[in-house]
Copies of this chain bind each other. A is one copy, B any other.
Amino acid sequence: MKTVEAIHNQGGRVTPARRAVISAIVEASGHVSAEEIFSVVHGQSPDIHLSTVYRTLDALEKLGVVEHVHLGHGRAVYHLEDNVHQHLVCDDCGAVLEAPKDLSKQLEQELENRLGFHIRAHHFSILGICKNCYHKKR
């Protein structure tokens, strides 16, 4: 487990709470809020507190294991850093799609050339209306 090593290397400690949070994120394999993570973790280990989840997420973020993003309005969601991509978020149904890599690359290039602006791909989010919602009239 790479994550566990990363924690060790930084002088961090591998605790049950941290294991639980990590596996909750891995199992979710998507975009999950702190509370969603908490409810999974808390379901199995009721002694683990919400604030511990937040602190663990913070720690994992510092280690570069997870990343949090604010998709659209509302709370932050976390996802694994190995799954870096750009998010398309439906403003109607909340669906989260991933933008095609080449499209992202292209945009990234152009913004860099023209404005010297360096996209953080993992922090990129576009709101709009997804195919489904668009077709059920709006």
Binding site for B on A (CB under 8 A): 68, 70, 72-74, 76, 88, 90-91, 97, 99-100, 103, 107, 110-111, 114-120, 123-131, 134
Check if B129 sits within 8 Å of A118, measured CB to CB. yes
Q: Pick the contact of A117 from B111, B117, B128 — CB < 8 Å?
A: B128
Which residues of B have CB within 8 Å of A119? Answer: 126-128
Which residues of B have CB within 8 Å of A128? Answer: 111, 117-120, 123-124
Which residues of B have CB within 8 Å of A103? Answer: 107, 110-111, 114
Chain B CB within 10 Å — which of A97, A115, A131 has the most?
A: A115
Which residues of B have CB within 8 Å of A134? Answer: 116, 118
**Whole-angstrom distance between the Cβ of A81 and the nearest chain B Cβ:** 15
Check if B125 sits within 8 Å of A129, measured CB to CB. no
Which residues of B have CB within 8 Å of A131? Answer: 115-117
Docked Cα-Cα span, A119 to B120, in Å, equals: 19
Docked Cα-Cα span, A34 to B80, in Å, equals: 32
Docked Cα-Cα span, A90 to B68, in Å, equals: 16
Task: Taking A103-B114, A115-B131, A116-B131 as given, write out 18 further A-B residue pairs in contact, using a Cβ cutoff of 8 Å, ordered by the A residue number.
Answer: A70-B73, A70-B74, A72-B123, A97-B115, A97-B117, A99-B111, A111-B128, A116-B130, A117-B128, A117-B131, A118-B128, A118-B130, A119-B128, A120-B127, A123-B128, A124-B126, A124-B127, A125-B125
